[in-house]
Chains A and B, each alone.
Chain A
Amino acid sequence: MSLLSVTDLAVTFPTETERVKAVRGMDFDVAAGEVVALVGESGSGKSASAMAIIGLLPEYAEVSGSIRLNGDELLGLSDNHMSRIRGKAIGTVFQDPMSALTPVYTVGDQIAEALEIHHREMGKQAARTRAIELLELVGIAQPERRARSFPHELSGGERQRVVIAIAIANDPDLIICDEPTTALDVTVQAQILEVLKTARDVTGAGVLIITHDLGVVAEFADRALVMYAGRAVETADVDVLYRDRRMPYTAGLLGSVPRLDAPQGARLVPIAGAPPSMAAPPPGCPFAPRCPLAIADCRAAEPALIEITPAHRAACIRTEHVAGRTAAEIYGVSTEPPAAARDAAAPAVLRVRDLAKTYKLTKGVVFRRQVGEVRAVDGVSFELQQGRTLGIVGESGSGKSTTLHQILDLSAPQAGSIEVLGADVAALDRRSRRALRGDLQVVFQDPVASLDPRLPVFEVLAEPLQANGFDKSRTDERVAELLGIVGLRREDASRYPAEFSGGQKQRIGIARALALQPKILALDEPVSALDVSIQAGIINLLLDLQEQFGLSYLFVSHDLSVVKHLAHRVAVMYKGKIVEQGDGDQVFANPQQDYTRRLLAAVPQPDPNRR
């Protein structure tokens, strides 16, 4: 008998106008010691499934089916009863470790609390000792001392370790991890996956991991369920899934992941369209509208999971057309990078020399005195050539964003020099600075935050034009042109940003940046907030735009595989300094520095054989 068995689970969120069917008939088992992954894009129902298992869905959600843990039914238990199971038989690791921990208690106390709640007889001292043992188990150095730290005194990775320690404190039978590594840096991500493996080995628990990152699945999971529109569309052992996927959606998902072994400029395979509305799913296979292999039968009825081999099932009637073909073949697109004329002597459009930025640390309220300084950017030099892409890679806190914003500010830096299109920014007056702004534009990371929610799309795109003296008819003309360039429809212009999906919002952001026909585009992690299949479309768009308009990109990212696809040259930043700089292929194929090598090794690859 398996540890956890879920049969025919359905979750519906009723709203006043419609019923959103988040999960529609999930069946799966998790055995002790096994790692099962629920993979899918946002809105596919993976989190709702997990929350249903631990009984943390909002009260108005309607849940049906059966969830059995060690043979006991969990659905329908009262909240009190569930509280005795949560934290004891089921441990949970959440996505954001900062909000998963209470800021006003020390981490030691929080682990001890998890123990004392379920073991009333356990004394304070015993709980404390055990908490320190747990901290040591999850790999925190000096556990006695760190147990007295508050969450804000720990780094992101350490906080996630504490959350894992709490999850395994009571030796659970099942550990549920909801996107455990999404909020973390790559190097930390790899460590946390190691800790989770240790946790599984120590407790012998089954692990249910929810993630959108196919690299994490390949590194960590034994078996995966690919979810789409509230259902599993393909289930298989991980190595089978990556070698011999049979569902077109899975093929597309794998094809849209940027890879470290692809050459610069290689296109990805995007899945056109967006997931269907879960309030009124279309008849037939929910993936049919986006599927390149769809035939009339696909739209007639929703296919059940069909057995291919005993451990491999796919909800598709055209699996034989998927087997053995690459994603690019299935989707009928070319991933080949276009043969670009390599112009090594292209003029430099951006030149940065010895740029430095320090923040003063002060103490005291009335009499501020300086107690030290933080060197956020410490003597950075690089050059960006016209029509090329410079990728700045680094973990959070490496100073890459500070560098970018220092350049975008177009004001004199604290030290060093910035030269944009041949003009030294320190020597600019107001007028020439405004003129230069048109040539240097930015696309932000979060498409939600970077668009004013109160402005319709037309006004968003018209804003830079109006600010630079375009009249009404030229503005209209240019806005129409921009919408076409980024692949949006004219009718979209009178809608508000909230009505668009994440990928579309990012397209609006790119259109706005292109409005003034800039020569340099600064990209601040433009795809990291997007789902993989959407991300692929944006990366392709950026590559196309560069080719079409000869743009120069300054690309800041922590995601090495995305940088690999886009960047001609790469600069690796660490603690405010550039530790390695060179041509993209060279840095990735033959890293010279230790830190670069560590960074590359930590990237989870969608290839289970690398384990």
Chain B
Amino acid sequence: MSEPITTETATTAKSGVDVARFASRRALVRRRFLRNKPGVVSLVLLVVLFIACYALPPLLPYSYTDLDFYALQQPPSTDHWFGTNALGQDLLAQTLRGMQKSMLIGVCVAFISTIIAATVGTIAGYFGGWRDRTLMWIVDLTLVVPSFLLITIVVQRTRGNIVWLIVLLAAFSWMISSRIVRGMTMSLREREFVAAARYMGVRNWRVIVRHIVPNVASIIIIDTALNVGLAVLAETGLSFLGFGIRPPDVSLGTLIADGTKSVTTFPWVFLFPAGVLVLIILCANLVGDGLRDALDPSARPLRKARK
């Protein structure tokens, strides 16, 4: 800290390109993500769907429990946009109601389980030693617990409480990804840029957040996007067996399960809820892809060998 170095700035200031501020990584990632059209469209669509499933039902003439005896098993019409089922329930209202549950479950479970996986994996891999051993014991322990049985028992006790469902599904779906994250972290820990950060006096948690997590981000993001779909399917499975969501309440899972029986004769009963589910998962995946490309500077749509 002996001498102030000011002579060098004079030459660089002449370059003319905005000298006031440097773009931080956050700004760069945001800019790169916004350049990815499919990702942005998907994100907007997801937000619109989420808002719609809560905002629309009060505006509809039918609630999801109302039975319209004059329209049993009717195809889509101006009255019932998505058609009706055998009981005369309006499928649009039912699908929206189902989306409320399924999107909440899917998004929450995916985020919670990925956050657990990333935290446990990076801590175990970065620090090693007793932290690693303890956390991996917990992983192994959770892996051998028959999770499906446990969830059914608890959910039955709590009468389909959605919070419990989310907590339990999240608690049993992070182990494998945390092991993968741990392995990647262990190899990243040996890299010189991590050593460089440590020698510069950067604190451990900052190294994890700034260097480790962005470098395992691709696997974490893919994992989140896949988990949205898996969580919805897990909830469907539980509901199908009569544990998750109880009638008369519905979820996308129960709707699809009901619709599969008449998929060839009355396709709308199946197609609309299933289509919405596909749309949600597709959007989640596209957002994930966009985010991954934005974080990874080497991900560019180029350089593929022409065969």
Contacts and interface: CB of A to CB of B under 8 A. Distances in A.
Interface of A: 14-17, 58-60, 408, 434, 437-438, 440-442, 444-446, 449-456, 458-459, 462-464, 467-468, 476-477, 479-481, 483-485, 489-491, 493-494, 496, 498-499, 509, 512, 515-517, 548-550
B193 A437 contact: no
Q: Which 8 residue pairs spanning A and B have beta carbons closest together?
A: A484-B8, A496-B297, A437-B201, A450-B192, A464-B200, A454-B214, A458-B22, A467-B202
7 contacts: A444-B196, A449-B192, A450-B192, A454-B295, A454-B296, A455-B25, A549-B5
B25 A456 contact: yes
A455 B210 contact: yes
Contact of A481 (B9, B201, B211): B9
A408 B22 contact: no
Given A60-B307, A453-B298, A483-B12, A516 B193 contact: no
B201 A468 contact: yes
B12 A489 contact: yes
Contact of A450 (B3, B9, B196): B196
Contacts of A489: 12, 15
B78 interface: no
A467 B201 CA distance: 7
Nearest to A496: B297
A442 B17 CA distance: 31
Interface of B: 1-3, 5-6, 8-9, 11-13, 15, 17, 19, 21-25, 28, 191-193, 195-197, 199-203, 206, 210-211, 214-215, 217, 295-298, 302-307
Given A454-B296, A458-B24, A498-B297, A480 B206 contact: no
Contacts of B211: 452, 454-455
B302 A437 contact: no
Contact of B306 (A14, A476, A493): A14
Contact of B15 (A437, A476, A485, A491): A491
Contacts of A437: 199-201
Nearest to A448: B192
Contacts of A455: 25, 210-211, 214
A498 B210 CA distance: 18
B305 A15 contact: yes
Nearest to B305: A60
A15 B201 contact: no
A467 B203 contact: yes
A196 B303 CA distance: 38
A14 B302 CA distance: 12
A494 B306 contact: no
Nearest to B203: A467
A17 B201 contact: no
Contact of A454 (B6, B13, B297, B304): B297
Given A16-B302, A456-B25, A480-B12, A463 B202 contact: yes
Nearest to A517: B1
Contacts of B297: 453-454, 456, 496, 498-499
A467 B200 contact: yes
B52 to A, nearest CB: 35
A490 B305 contact: no
A463 B210 contact: yes
Contacts of B193: 449-452
A423 to B, nearest CB: 15
Contacts of B28: 456, 494
Nearest to A443: B196
B171 to A, nearest CB: 30
Contact of B11 (A484, A496, A549): A484
B126 to A, nearest CB: 14
A79 B191 CA distance: 39
A138 to B, nearest CB: 34
Contacts of B1: 517
A479 B5 contact: no
A434 B201 contact: yes
A480 B295 CA distance: 24
B304 A484 contact: no
Contact of B305 (A58, A454, A467, A550): A58
A357 to B, nearest CB: 17
A241 to B, nearest CB: 36
Contacts of B25: 455-456, 458-459
B210 A408 contact: no
A524 B150 CA distance: 55
B302 A15 contact: yes
Contacts of B302: 15-17
Contacts of A450: 192-193, 196
Contacts of A459: 24-25, 210
Contacts of B191: 449
B128 to A, nearest CB: 16
Given A437-B200, A463-B202, A458 B23 contact: yes
B196 A480 contact: no
Given A408-B199, A437-B200, A490 B3 contact: no
A491 to B, nearest CB: 5
A460 B203 CA distance: 15
Contacts of B307: 59-60
A58 B304 CA distance: 13
Given A16-B306, A484-B8, A442 B22 contact: no
A437 B195 CA distance: 13
A441 B200 contact: yes
A479 B19 CA distance: 11
Nearest to B8: A484
B101 to A, nearest CB: 36
Contact of A485 (B5, B201, B214, B304): B5
A477 B21 CA distance: 9
B11 to A, nearest CB: 6
Contacts of B217: 454
A442 B196 contact: yes
B303 A15 contact: yes
A494 B297 CA distance: 11
Nearest to A409: B199
A490 B17 contact: yes
Given A441-B199, A456-B25, 16 more contacts: A15-B302, A15-B303, A58-B305, A437-B200, A444-B196, A445-B192, A455-B214, A459-B210, A464-B201, A480-B13, A481-B8, A491-B15, A493-B23, A512-B196, A512-B200, A517-B2
A485 to B, nearest CB: 5
A509 B192 CA distance: 11
